[in-house]
Structure 1
């Protein structure tokens, strides 16, 4: 059997070799991981908050 296709997987539908039932709760309710999501977002974008101000000051000299 080819388990890449949901119709042939005996455990139910799968997404990228992971059972949908394993990820659906965390995807449906991310509020339980809000602090982790916020920390990751802050880490990823920590260096970009200064760019809009710098661009504005270059294009709108006072």
Structure 2
């Protein structure tokens, strides 16, 4: 059986001062899931107005 989880990150396309901390937080989240045995299965980016939304899907075999 597999466990599936997602991380959603919304990054401002207008304000670079907020982009770096958001991407650093995403990296920390991905690292935390990796330490728990998850593997990154896919990453999707969606442009939405002033933001880019990043959706990471992670899986872990139980």
**What is the TM-score of this pair, normalised by structure 1?**
0.28
Query: Which structure has more RCO (C-alpha within 8 Å, separation ≥ 6)?
Result: 2
Q: Larger C-alpha radius of gyration, 1 or 2?
A: 1
